[in-house]
Structure formats: structure tokens, C-alpha cells
Chain A
Amino acid sequence: DAGITQSPRHKVTETGTPVTLRCHQTENHRYMYWYRQDPGHGLRLIHYSYGVKDTDKGEVSDGYSVSRSKTEDFLLTLESATSSQTSVYFCAISGAGFHNEQFFGPGTRLTVL
């Protein structure tokens, strides 16, 4: 398995609180991605990174921000969590070369009450 970990694996929080999810890789891959998975929607791209300090928006970026200060870490922040952000969040990584597959982390289940 590709070396990807996500923390925490489960989190319950209240509306209006800030939340940060962490993705850590040991593969030294260039590209990192954050997706959310919701029933009936499959996975949707939130943000992605193409290098340290280089990030861009995905399909559903409103209400989320990201940071990547080191190759191995990609953080997803919900500045003020809402109930609509209750979801399972997956991090993925891929190497250079467009055809390289994406490897997915185990996911973080976030519940916003």
C-alpha cells in the first residue's frame, strides 16, 4: 500500500468550530488531493496541490482552505464547520507523469452537529 495516512480518522464537532484534517505521505509524490464522499455524489474534488505552497481549487472548494508547507503534508481546513460539511474526506496522492494513478488514504469521517 502507498504510504498515506489521514488524521484524525473520526471527528465529531459542532457547527461554527474550526476543523483541520491532515494528510501525510511517505512516497514523496508531487500531487496531493482532497475529496469528499457523499451518498449519491461519488467523490468530489475539493482542492489539490501540485507542489509545496502550490494549491488550486477543485469542484467544491467553498468553505474549505488548504495548505502545503512540506512535500509530505497536505492540510484541509474548515474555518467554520457547517452541517453540510458532514462527510467522509479522502486524501489522494499521485506522482509526476500524468498517467500515474492516484493512491487514496483510508479516509476521515467528519460529523458536524
Chain B
Amino acid sequence: AQSVTQLDSQVPVFEEAPVELRCNYSSSVSVYLFWYVQYPNQGLQLLLKYLSGSTLVESINGFEAEFNKSQTSFHLRKPSVHISDTAEYFCAVSESGQGAQKLVFGQGTRLTINP
């Protein structure tokens, strides 16, 4: 079975500052890793994913995450945040392979951007 721990429940930062949202996972099998974003009163949207290959993955809006197998981590970073990045962010893991993608989510990190 897999588990995901997001180390910070809330992260306040100032606009244009860098941010890192931490995610650690536990699994006895090979996994895929995901970051989802949830804006207020909406469903979740995929931000980025790691399946295989390059350990650094990027999103279209400037976020990036690096898969670190030895530290079982998949931290999310952005060098300069905007007010519009205010949202809740969820790290998730699924077992690699074919079939249904049974996601296991972390508890979420609420990112608040202050002007």
C-alpha cells in the first residue's frame, strides 16, 4: 500500500517570492507521482506528473517538481508566485502499471499569496 505525507498544511508567502511545497511518499512498489491543484469551490486539476524518464517535470504555469527516489520525495516549487496561485495543492501517488489509476492523496497544502 502507498501513503503520502504533505509536510505543511498551510504555506503563506508574499507575491513574487519563491515557494516549495513538500511531499513525501511511502511505497513498496514502483509508483507514479502527481500534483493536483484545487481552486476555491472547484474540482481538482492536474498540475504535473512524473511517470518515468527525467526526474524534473514542469507545468505550463511555472511550477516544477523533482522526483527523488532515494528520499522518496516529490516536492513542488515555483521561483516566483502570483496572487492567482492561491489554492490548495495535493500530492498523489499511484502504483505504476496498467489498469485503473487508484490515487492515494496527501492531506493537502493550502498556499496563500499575500500582496
A interface, CB within 8 angstroms of B: 4, 31, 33, 35, 40-45, 48, 50, 56, 58-59, 90, 92, 94, 98-102, 104-107
Shortest distance in angstroms between A51's beta carbon and chain B's nearest beta carbon? 10
Given contacts A43-B90, A104-B45, contact A31 B101 (CB under 8 A): yes
Q: Which of B13-21, B59-67, B79-87, B105-113 has 4 or more CB atoms under 8 Å from chain A?
A: B105-113
Residues of chain B whose beta carbon lies under 8 Å from any beta carbon of chain A: 4, 6, 9, 32, 34, 36, 42-46, 49, 51, 90, 92, 96-108
CB distance from B12 to the nearest CB of A (A): 18
**Total A-B contacts with CB atoms under 8 angstroms apart:** 64
In the bound assembly, the distance between CA atoms of A50 and B100 in angstroms comes to 7
CA distance A31 to B32 in the complex (A): 17
Contact B106 A42 (CB under 8 A): yes
Is A101 in contact with B103, judged by CB distance below 8 angstroms? no
Please indicate the chain B residues that have their CB under 8 angstroms from the CB of A31 in the complex.
100-101
Asked if A48 and B105 make an inter-chain contact with CB atoms under 8 angstroms apart, the answer reads no
Cβ 8 A contact of A102, one of B6, B9, B103, B106? B103
A33 → chain B closest CB, angstroms? 8
